[in-house]
Amino acid sequence: MTNPNLEAQHINLTSLKQPAIHSLTGVQPHGVLLILEEATLTILQASTNTSALLQRSPASLLGQTLDEIFDSFQVDRFRAGLAEENLDFINPSRVWIRRKGDDYAVFDAVFHRNGDGFLILELEPAFTQQNIPFLSFYHLAKASITQLEATSNLQDFCKIIVQEVRNVTDFDRVMLYKFDADGHGEVVAEEKVDEMESYLGLHFPESDIPVPARKMFLSNWIRIIPDASAEPASLYPVHNPVTQQPTDLTLSILRSPYHCHTEYLHHMGVSASLTISLMKDDKLWGLIACHHRSPKYVSYELRKACEFLGRVIFAEISTREETADYHYRMHLARVQSALIESMSEAESFVDGLMQSEPNLLDLANAKGAAICFGGRWTTIGQTPSEEELNYLVQWLAKTVDEEVFYTSSLPLVYADAERFKHVASGLLAIPISKRSYVLWFRPEVIQTVNWGGDPNHAYELQESGNRQWLCPRKSFELWKETVSLNSLPWKPVEVQATLELRKAIVNIVLRQAEELALLAQDLERSNAELKKFAYVASHDLQEPLNQVANYVQLLEMRYHDQLDQDATEFIDFAVEGVSLMQTLIDDVLIYSKVDLKGIEWQLTNSETALNHALGNLRGRIAETEAQVTYDPMPQIVADGTQLMQLFQNLIANAIKFRSSTPPEIHVGVERQEDTWLFSVQDNGIGIDPKFSDRIFVIFQRLHTRDEYPGSGMGLAICKKIVECHRGTIWVESELGQGATFYFTIPVGGRDYSHAIGQKKNYLPRRG
């Protein structure tokens, strides 16, 4: 994994045993650490490397006051500084110690008080040539900040920070980590020498920064390990002589890192590291981590400069982040109002949400979304299958009572979701009603993690004696285990946006339901009027027509001898025209009578209906010597009269469009899963397949009336009857090959009618 600077500890996953941070008493050997009793500045403990750096053994320092090491001028300054509230006034102080004759050692001295109230003085060797003059630093910082101000996006901003930190410190690699709400992190910016591996864009687990380490980052904003392979110096004596306990070095600069940590660095080929904490609202927002392949010492001053840079710059990041948050909120608000507008304009709110730009996905930054409304699914992006969605909604209906439900680990609460974790480890759901939902999905987060390099490469769990420690790659695997079945979390602002959308949908649905009810009323009224009209038309239109026909015929009958051939023909045409008009009126009447409301659902013997139809066609069957055969016919739930009409029209059609041979017609039926499939097959002239849809359209004719008489409504009536029964009708045919008309009738009759509020009973009627 990618978080080498951090002490790795994963208590529940491995048997890593690490001492608590306050009991670590190793000291990095490049500096000297002294533990003092503050009132008298008496030395209680000293790091064992004093011989090398101060030319005095630790034993010789015990019980001495600082006056023994520093000249009185320096000690007076310490006393004055320690009397101040804030130790920053004396931190750091450039101090010197005479080792021998004119041999002075120069140090940066830093004081702090630990949790037990002891004063700790840390002395780091000062290297004058490494000090950066204040003005240079000022220019650097100013240049950076100016550059930053010109940058609008957070990504670029972070990039500039790592560039600047690398400029100032000259580390081989500088990275900026950002933590998310769950504590997982991501490398968002990186600047490095070409030879070093890139970690940019990689995620790393929360487990890599255990709680004690986080605490330390909170209190100790800058951490340096100049040489990860240096053997730490211990304290002399090991235990604090006052408390008889290890002295708490949590806030120490020189305290040695965990062994695990140094191994970590070692495995990554890193010898020196510097870490700067980025804090926001007293929480660890992120880190700037610097790596160097060889040991590298960074002076206290420079570190302070980096810390300062970090703070100043980070203040700007915070602002930027807030601005970004604000912009995101505004963005969501814009998406939201666009959606609401398009919903109210679209015919159905579902279309409005799915088809507009921006669409539903944009409202919650989701990869997939689905709407269940009126028993139908509409989806966009990547979603589970409709079957899975149906189960999911059933589960939601049972489980969820709130106006919004969201989780970034759906499989943990709904085990079946593991099957589609790659599209929906995260779910955000708003119920519109018990049966209608809007759902948003996010994929498992591992899917979105970038992993550079070869994942099978080198680093693993290391073991040495009875100690174990995590190494980068292995740690990534552990993390994958930890975060699997998780999506990126839903932001509160996203949840809020969906809640507001819900309100809008509910309003629109209510309004549409109201409009629909009104519309249904109007429709019912106009339907009734239409029926009345149809009746009147059939009667009142027929009457004058009959009259024309009758009188023309009477004319012919009575004056036959006085008419020439032209007159006789004219009369024939008049009669023909009237007769066609009469047929049309009859058919329109039949067509208008077929509607959903008019259907008498009942258990019908389809053989009776067929026989009735055959009876009506008796004359034509005899005339054409047609052979009609049929399969045993089932009992079905349908309107018997309409079914009869259907058979009659189809068989009449088969007879009408006969070829030169006598018609052979077979009526078949077979049971399919949910439907009865009927067929009427003939050996007639057939239909060109390109017309196979057109023939069902009202008044569509493929032949002249001279060839085949008729209104062109027969099949339109058939189609309407079948559709009112919730079935489908189609034809399969080739020219000259005969034709087979198929139609289906649902076995259950009419499940739909319950949904549309009809209350007719389709059980056999009594009496």
Partner 1 sequence: MRSDRRKTIFLVEDNRGDIRLIQEAFKSTAIDCDIVVARDGVEAMEYLQQDQAIRPDLILLDLNLPRKDGREVLAEIKADMVLKHIPVVVLTTSRNEEDITKSYDLHVNCYIAKSRNLNQLFKIIRGIEEFWLETATLPIPF
Q: Is 540 in the site for partner 1 (CB under 8 A)?
A: yes
> Which C-beta is closer to partner 1: that of 337 or that of 550?
550
Listed in sequence order, the residues at least 6 apart from 521 whose beta carbon sits closer than 8 Å to its beta carbon are: none
350 touches 369 (CB < 8 A): no
When binding is defined by CB under 8 A, the residue of 543, 561, 564, 706 that contacts partner 1 is: 543
> Which C-beta is closer to partner 1: that of 325 or that of 600?
600
When binding is defined by CB under 8 A, the residue of 348, 542, 605, 737 that contacts partner 1 is: 542
Number of other CB atoms surrounding residue 484 within 10 Å: 15
Residue 539 C-beta: closest distance to partner 1, Å: 5
Burial group, residue 747, by CB count within 10 angstroms (0-12, 13-18, 19+): middle
> Which C-beta is closer to partner 1: that of 103 or that of 543?
543
Q: If you count them, how many residues does the chain have?
A: 767
When binding is defined by CB under 8 A, the residue of 450, 546, 568, 627 that contacts partner 1 is: 546
Stretch of 141-149, 203-211, 544-552, 752-760 lying at the interface with partner 1 (CB under 8 A):
544-552
> Which C-beta is closer to partner 1: that of 346 or that of 555?
555
When binding is defined by CB under 8 A, the residue of 138, 326, 551, 573 that contacts partner 1 is: 551
> Which C-beta is closer to partner 1: that of 87 or that of 548?
548
Instruction: Name residue 283's beta-bridge partners.
Output: 280
Q: Is 561 in the site for partner 1 (CB under 8 A)?
A: no
Residue 557 C-beta: closest distance to partner 1, Å: 7
Distance CA 730, CA 719 (A): 9
Q: Is 553 in the site for partner 1 (CB under 8 A)?
A: yes
Stretch of 112-120, 359-367, 537-545, 741-749 lying at the interface with partner 1 (CB under 8 A):
537-545
Q: Is 550 in the site for partner 1 (CB under 8 A)?
A: yes
Q: Is 554 in the site for partner 1 (CB under 8 A)?
A: yes
CA 285 to chain centre: 25
Q: Is 568 in the site for partner 1 (CB under 8 A)?
A: no
> Which C-beta is closer to partner 1: that of 400 or that of 541?
541
When binding is defined by CB under 8 A, the residue of 357, 557, 661, 757 that contacts partner 1 is: 557
Q: Is 629 in the site for partner 1 (CB under 8 A)?
A: no
Task: Write out the H or E segment, with its range, that includes residue 137.
Answer: helix 134-149
Distance CA 453, CA 393 (A): 41
Stretch of 260-268, 450-458, 541-549, 682-690 lying at the interface with partner 1 (CB under 8 A):
541-549
Residue 542 C-beta: closest distance to partner 1, Å: 5
Residue 549 C-beta: closest distance to partner 1, Å: 6
Q: Is 85 in the site for partner 1 (CB under 8 A)?
A: no
> Which C-beta is closer to partner 1: that of 362 or that of 587?
587
Residue 577 C-beta: closest distance to partner 1, Å: 13
Q: Is 549 in the site for partner 1 (CB under 8 A)?
A: yes
Number of other CB atoms surrounding residue 672 within 10 Å: 9
Q: In 3-state terms, what secondary structure has residue 733?
A: strand
Q: Is 547 in the site for partner 1 (CB under 8 A)?
A: yes
For 216-245, b where at least 16 C-beta lie within 10 A, e where not — what string?
bbeebbbbbbbbbeeebbbbbeeebeeeee
217 touches 287 (CB < 8 A): yes
When binding is defined by CB under 8 A, the residue of 28, 169, 252, 538 that contacts partner 1 is: 538
Stretch of 80-88, 339-347, 543-551, 650-658 lying at the interface with partner 1 (CB under 8 A):
543-551
Number of other CB atoms surrounding residue 613 within 10 Å: 21
Rounded alpha-carbon distances, angstroms, from residue 350 to 302, 370, 378 = 60, 10, 7
Residue 604 C-beta: closest distance to partner 1, Å: 18
Residue 552 C-beta: closest distance to partner 1, Å: 8
When binding is defined by CB under 8 A, the residue of 503, 525, 539, 703 that contacts partner 1 is: 539
Distance CA 55, CA 36 (A): 19
397 touches 459 (CB < 8 A): no
> Which C-beta is closer to partner 1: that of 553 or that of 737?
553
Distance CA 144, CA 106 (A): 32
> Which C-beta is closer to partner 1: that of 365 or that of 582?
582
When binding is defined by CB under 8 A, the residue of 60, 390, 512, 582 that contacts partner 1 is: 582
For 352-382, b where at least 16 C-beta lie within 10 A, e where not — what string?
bbbebeebbbbbbbbbbbbbbbeeebbbbbb
Question: How many residues sit in the footprint of partner 1 (CB under 8 A)?
Answer: 17
664-671 and 627-630 beta bridge pairing: parallel
Residue 393 C-beta: closest distance to partner 1, Å: 47
Listed in sequence order, the residues at least 6 apart from 383 whose beta carbon sits closer than 8 Å to its beta carbon are: 368, 369, 370, 389, 423, 424, 439, 441
Q: Is 106 in the site for partner 1 (CB under 8 A)?
A: no
Can you tell me which residue has the tokens 């008298």?
40
Q: Is 560 in the site for partner 1 (CB under 8 A)?
A: no
Residue 364 C-beta: closest distance to partner 1, Å: 58
Q: Is 282 in the site for partner 1 (CB under 8 A)?
A: no
Residue 725 C-beta: closest distance to partner 1, Å: 21
Residue 609 C-beta: closest distance to partner 1, Å: 16
Residue 593 C-beta: closest distance to partner 1, Å: 10
**What is the chain's Cα-based Rg?**
45
Distance CA 288, CA 297 (A): 17
42-47 and 32-37 beta bridge pairing: antiparallel
Instruction: Name residue 35's beta-bridge partners.
Output: 45, 120
Distance CA 470, CA 707 (A): 90
Q: Is 570 in the site for partner 1 (CB under 8 A)?
A: no
**Contacts (CB under 8 A) with partner 1, residues 633-652:** none
Query: Cα angle at 581 between 579 and 587, to 5 degrees?
Result: 105
Listed in sequence order, the residues at least 6 apart from 450 whose beta carbon sits closer than 8 Å to its beta carbon are: 201, 202, 203
Stretch of 294-302, 454-462, 536-544, 664-672 lying at the interface with partner 1 (CB under 8 A):
536-544
Q: Is 576 in the site for partner 1 (CB under 8 A)?
A: no
Residue 536 C-beta: closest distance to partner 1, Å: 9
- Catalog residues that contact partner 1 under the rule CB under 8 A: 535, 538-540, 542-543, 545-547, 549-551, 553-554, 557, 579, 582
